[in-house]
Structure 1
Amino acid sequence: MTTQNAAPAVDPDKLMAFVFRAVEETGAALNCALVVMGDRLGYYRSLAEHGASTPAELAQRTGTEEHYAREWLNAQAAGSFVTYQPDTGRYHLPPEQAVALTDETSPAFVGGLFQIAHGTATDAADVIAAARAGNGVAWGDHNSDVHVGCERFFRPTYNAHLVSDWLPALDGVVGKLGSGAAVVDIGCGHGSSTILMAQVFPASSFLGVDYHRESIATAQQRAADAAPGAQISFQAADVAAVTGGPYDLVTMFDCLHDMGDPVGAARRIREIIADDGTWMIVEPAAGDHVEDNLNPIGRAYYGFSTLLCTPSSLAQPVGLALGTQAGPARIRDVVTQAGFTRFRLAANTPFNNVFEVRP
């Protein structure tokens, strides 16, 4: 006689609790697009500048249709992004939210985070198809919200920490940059990190490299506008084709885990770095074990890893797919396989780990 295992009992209270959580999650997913909408239409900036407003006032000031402004404000109030004043019918953007949603110079700015998340979700159908086929989705195949949002998300953090915290945490690097060093910034994207370093250290020369040609074109224009006298150039190439050297400083900002062959990239860096040079790797904050990353930041990063970073790696030769939450141990393994002998965590933020790697 065969006995089948009985289906586990369902707790109706836990079931309904999860259903209500699913409703909350749906609202959060929709709010990603609503934040992008508020950013593009100038709703947040208007509220920050003019204070509490009615839907009609907001619509008039931003040149938009009042019904959209009304429903958008109600959605923002329901999610506690703005507060509603029933006695006046006005909506108020608290000062903390105003900083996070309008001040692109603040490290707390989240507009870019919502933009890259919105762009990533927009391309989910391509990732689903790639998962079925067993291939990847290249970075350049994503929509512009991914590329622009990525730069807007990371730039405020680099502006806040790169020169004041991260570079000084590296042994002897600031002194070299001050007297004149050769630097290559690999995976530079739109060039924010490269341009920032070039502006602060005019005696040094900088090469920004990225395999996405459209990003390099943007970086070249931004460098011409922001640092016309700096020793800065850009090259559209993957790591294997990087020219020049030996380099006193090699930097990678939030891109090693996106590469198809990070070990091969590390071996190339070992070839072009000076004997006393430094490789600074900035990666998303992560622990070495899954359970270390089961938190809100890890959840967001695992989401980006599934829909953006892992597909990018799988679209390239080798396709190692380290994942956004690779952790220090896996990064150490990559660089030691390439022949580097010194590796340490030099600095960190709630969102980033900064590693110092030496030959």
Structure 2
Amino acid sequence: MDTAVTAPAIDQARLEAFAMRAIGDIASAYTGVMVNLGHQLGLYKAMLGAGPLSSQELAQRSGCAERYVREWLNAQAASGYLDFHAASETYELGAEQALVLADEDSPVFIPPAWNMPASMWADEPKTLEAFRTGRGVAWGEHDGRMACGVAAFYRNGYRASLVPQWLPALEGVVAQLEAGIAVADIGCGHGHSTLLMAEAFPNSRFFGYDTHAESIAEARRHAAAAGLAARAEFDLARATSYPDRRFGLICFFDVLHDLGDPVAAAEHAARVLAPGGTVMLVEPFARDRTEDNLTPVGQLYYGGSTIICCAHAISEGGRMVLGAQAGPKRLAEVFRKAGFTHFRCAAETPFNLVFEVRR
């Protein structure tokens, strides 16, 4: 019997296009290293509002060696992160680029996000073992840059949207916060979301819970520095065991899909929710069908979900491993199983879906 396998015909144009796409992805990874250098060394800050600068001028302003600075500038210009003026051989950080690279309060400030892929590379041995054995990797087992990168990346997005947009999209919640209720922030991390609400609503009390001790310690430091420790408390607790304070609002900010048993977390929320209370569920933007998530945002979230979200859920027993691209139907089913009867998408951004959930 002839068992020879016929080689598939190769579309040369498609091959070349895909190879260039792969090279582009490698180049973007290099760019991430350059962005982190620019952030850590203060190069972007030195260029902010300065107009066109030569490599020598930037070296003097930043206190760095000119030959390194020159090569870094060319790398940034080649990637489109800086503008190059050929006539004067100078480089400029434009206003739009500055919002992304230099303004630490901008909702699109991106440099800290590069800590996450750096952590993924550092954690490669753990990930390889997880793939081969099926075991989980808990949040606290990751390289320390993971928690710092995630906290800094989400902080500005929450600052831009949480109080002015997301909370007002929930029926009656702002009035309750102004009058004074207890609020739980589940998986609070470094406490940025908790403190944004505490600052905006002084009559309410806020309680942040997380299983990562280092993040809780950091949240307490942030609260003290902001003068909010009297009305924002942070404690170690799981999503299924934090204290019953008859919460008027329970928040899950980009965390439900990380949990090993999201239904149990929703059931606990139902037990400790005050009559007339609301669960605010914020999740990564996703549609219900895989084919509708094959986008740059999906690429980002599926990659992060592989290394971080699914791995942590599995470390917690993995009864239901949602992943970061769960989609509205699967999320609604979680709360339906927990006894909730109201599930509504209240707001969305290119990166998040915000749901209003009630019993």
Report the TM range for the smaller structure's normalisation.
Answer: over 0.9
The reply on whether 1:76 has 2:76 as its aligned counterpart is yes
The reply on whether 1:157 has 2:157 as its aligned counterpart is yes
Q: Is the 1:116–1:150 contact (alpha carbons within 8 Å) kept by the matching residues of 2?
A: yes
* Equivalences for residues 1-359 of structure 1 within 5 A: 1-2=1-2, 4-228=4-228, 230-318=230-318, 320-359=320-359
Q: Between 339-348 and 236-245, report the one with greater CA deviation.
A: 236-245
Closer, same or farther in 2 for the Cα pair 1:73/1:319, shift >3 Å? Answer: farther
Distance in 2 (CA, whole Å) between partners of 1:282 and 1:59 is 43
Q: Is the 2:53–2:90 contact (alpha carbons within 8 Å) kept by the matching residues of 1?
A: yes
Deviations along 1:139-173, one digit per CA (max 9) or x if unpaired, are 11222221111111111111111111111111111
Distance in 2 (CA, whole Å) between partners of 1:278 and 1:121 is 39
Letter in 2 for 1:298: G
Letter in 1 for 2:278: T
Deviations along 1:105-163, one digit per CA (max 9) or x if unpaired, are 22222223333233334323321221112112111122222111111111111111111
Q: Is the 1:32–1:115 contact (alpha carbons within 8 Å) kept by the matching residues of 2?
A: no
Distance in 2 (CA, whole Å) between partners of 1:330 and 1:64 is 51
Deviation at 1:98, TM superposition (A): 0.6
Q: Is the 2:198–2:228 contact (alpha carbons within 8 Å) kept by the matching residues of 1?
A: no
Q: Which secondary structure state, in structure 2, belongs to the residue aligned with residue 125 of structure 1?
A: helix
Deviation at 1:318, TM superposition (A): 3.0
Q: Between 101-110 and 190-199, report the one with greater CA deviation.
A: 101-110
Gaps of 5+ in 2: none
Q: TM-score under structure 2 normalisation? A: 0.96
Q: Which secondary structure state, in structure 2, belongs to the residue aligned with residue 50 of structure 1?
A: coil
Q: Is the 1:287–1:325 contact (alpha carbons within 8 Å) kept by the matching residues of 2?
A: yes
Letter in 2 for 1:179: A
Gaps of 5+ in 1: none
Deviations along 1:268-302, one digit per CA (max 9) or x if unpaired, are 11111112110000000000010111111111111
Deviation at 1:257, TM superposition (A): 0.7
Letter in 1 for 2:304: F
Closer, same or farther in 2 for the Cα pair 1:83/1:125, shift >3 Å? Answer: farther
Q: Is the 1:258–1:322 contact (alpha carbons within 8 Å) kept by the matching residues of 2?
A: yes
Deviation at 1:4, TM superposition (A): 4.6
Deviation at 1:5, TM superposition (A): 4.7
Distance in 1 (CA, whole Å) between partners of 2:123 and 2:50 is 36
Q: Between 84-93 and 48-57, report the one with greater CA deviation.
A: 48-57
Q: Is the 2:195–2:228 contact (alpha carbons within 8 Å) kept by the matching residues of 1?
A: no
Q: Which secondary structure state, in structure 2, belongs to the residue aligned with residue 153 of structure 1?
A: helix
Q: Which secondary structure state, in structure 1, belongs to the residue aligned with residue 52 of structure 2?
A: coil
Deviation at 1:229, TM superposition (A): 6.4
Distance in 2 (CA, whole Å) between partners of 1:229 and 1:215 is 15
Q: Which secondary structure state, in structure 1, belongs to the residue aligned with residue 240 of structure 2?
A: helix
Give the paired residue count: 359
Deviation at 1:230, TM superposition (A): 4.3
Q: Is the 1:169–1:347 contact (alpha carbons within 8 Å) kept by the matching residues of 2?
A: yes
Q: Between 344-353 and 147-156, report the one with greater CA deviation.
A: 147-156
Root-mean-square deviation (CA, aligned residues, Å) is 1.5
Letter in 2 for 1:334: V
Distance in 2 (CA, whole Å) between partners of 1:228 and 1:309 is 30
Identity percentage over the alignment?
45
Q: Is the 2:183–2:250 contact (alpha carbons within 8 Å) kept by the matching residues of 1?
A: yes
Q: Which secondary structure state, in structure 2, belongs to the residue aligned with residue 35 of structure 1?
A: helix
